[in-house]
Structure 1
Amino acid sequence: MRVRQELPVTAETPPLSVLEGRLGVPVDPELLQLALTHRSFAYENGGLPTNERLEFLGDAVLGLVVTETLYRLHPDLSEGQLAKLRAAVVNMRALASVARDLELGRFVRLGRGEETTGGRDKSSILADTVEAIIGAVFLDHGLADTAAFVHRLVDDLIEASALLGAGLDWKTSLQELTSRHGLGVPEYRIAEDGPDHAKTFTAEVVVSGQVRGAGTGRSKKEAEARAAELAWKALSEAAEPATARTASAQTATAQTTTAGAATSARNSSAVPGSDGARTS
């Protein structure tokens, strides 16, 4: 019989009830604890079961729920386009952002080595933990309740995926946006900090000579993606008022033209001898 090892409750590690409150769904304590058990902790504690099987299951459930949602939301998109949208939602970076919102890093059980190298904020560990928790919820509650749970986690990501460009990543979307507005190709500046085993990268993206976004991450790719996302949003918001002004001006011009035509018609009808006012 497997011995259940309790998650130590410290200032850094709140009780599982706190996590359940954030998840919004009760989960069998043993399943939830298993979902939080990284292999580094398992190996350092006598070969305990890890969360990898739950992660495998959760990945499949997540993919099913997101795929069905996209299928229903976008009846006009091809299989290839739907696959790209799904990839924008079901990926390490997106799921890690969900984990950070839930502060999952505070609850994950890690080995000492992983702990010292910043494992609690490592995107791969956080994303895997999200999938493992989805797997645990599925085993405890079934598909219908798990689908509702998944929607609470990723509906914002599903909505955002529709805003991205053909490449379905922020760097590609930013380049498409700057090209469309004649702003040239974005340039990225990278700085790094910290020891080799725990480096942090900071990226700035420059568009038309101005820094439009900055982001940090555990890799250059992650930092650049975050910077591109901020730049894309800033430039998109700046473009919206201009588009609105253009549309307003076009509407005003059309209204002026229509009003002018109506005035001319009235004046014409008042001229003696015209069709509108014949003299006897």
Structure 2
Amino acid sequence: MDDRFERVGRILRDRSPVIVAYSGGVDSSLLAAIVSRCPDARARYILLDSPLMPRRAVDEALRIAEELGIDCEVVPFAILDDSEFSLNPFDRCAFCKRAQSRILKEIGDGALIIDGANTSDLGEFRPGLAVSDEEGIIHPFIEAGIGKQDVREMARECGYSFRDKPSDACLATRIPYGEPITCETLHIIEKGEEILRGLGFSRFRFRIHGDIARIEVPPEEFGLALASRDEVVSAVKSLGLTYATLDLVGFRSGSMDEQV
């Protein structure tokens, strides 16, 4: 067996029962898979479902859970009721993570909470990670020295369908800091990204700046963007926005953090 699996297994040993903070992303999916294979593991796999998560992502998370043979519990998460979060400060992730931790602790009733954070997350702007440490959440991949590339390699070694699944941050990351996060705005973003998916883009972000849609796609797909110009403009206007713009820098994760 790959030594990386053994390292994670040793970290999980004697730490039962656990609550796995599951989202259906490649990191939490691999962690859930490893936990489910641990002898005598007592685990619950909790998906916190909020407006920040596209419906497609929830459906995909449940499909992956079925692939792994785990029982995924979907728990409503009304994060927009938290005004400290919905006002959208630059450290909004900290408020979200604290609220998540509170719910998971209530569900777990003393169980250890673990998540799929890995060493690649340590060099990024992630205020939620610091809060999770304060809340006592355990990061087995970080303890094992495992990064994102390791996670993908391990998932590929096992033949899991999610091995090449792109990282997909919550929909709030499409809104500039300081602009309120509302269900209406999140719905517009979700619809906008579904339209981009339907047009055939491989990676994309539909970011909103007031009445402007700033669309990010890989530079090599700019030709497709121009060829789809009429459809994109029509779709943007149908969503109630005025302007459709193409970000010439191209697709990248975390572009809203560039000014932080």
Which TM-score bucket, shorter chain as reference?
Answer: under 0.3
Q: TM-score, normalised on structure 1?
A: 0.23
- Structure with greater contact order relative to length (CA < 8 Å, sep ≥ 6): 2
Between structures 1 and 2, the one with greater helix share: 1
Which has the larger share of strand?
2
Question: Scaled by the length of structure 2, what TM-score is found?
Answer: 0.24
